[in-house]
Copies of this chain bind each other. A is one copy, B any other.
Amino acid sequence: MNVQFKKGALELCVLGQLLNQDLYGYSLVERITRFIDISEGTVYPILRRLEKDGMVESYLKESTEGPARRYYRLNARGKEHFQSMLADWNELSQGVEDILKGVENEKK
């Protein structure tokens, strides 16, 4: 998979997952990896950045299956950010589609 395509998209996916429930980093990796190849070393920096930028808040919770989990909760600002990113994403993917549209037609 072209690496560059993922730029920004992974953050959008993380935000989308947090929209309806608090999740911890490792579970985000598991969830997203079902659809897009992503590694831990990518998710944690995203979460740190989101926290630094005031989009999410985090809290620790004990686990019976390993070390304590750090859950992330999307706050109001994060939700706005998600909506804004989603709009951009839709705009871009629509733009790409429009630009490539007709290529097949003209081809023959």
Contact = CB atoms under 8 A, between A and B. Distances in A.
Interface of A: 1-9, 11-13, 16-17, 19-20, 31-32, 35-36, 85-86, 88-89, 91-93, 95-96, 98-100, 103, 106-107
A95 B19 contact: no
A96 B20 CA distance: 17
Per assembly, the copies of the chain total: 2
B92 A13 contact: no
10 contacts: A1-B91, A5-B89, A7-B8, A12-B100, A20-B103, A20-B106, A31-B99, A32-B99, A35-B96, A93-B93
A83 to B, nearest CB: 11
Q: Which of A4, A11, A12, A106 gathers most chain B CB within 10 Å? A: A4
Contacts of A93: 93
Contact of A35 (B5, B7, B16, B98): B98
B86 A17 contact: no
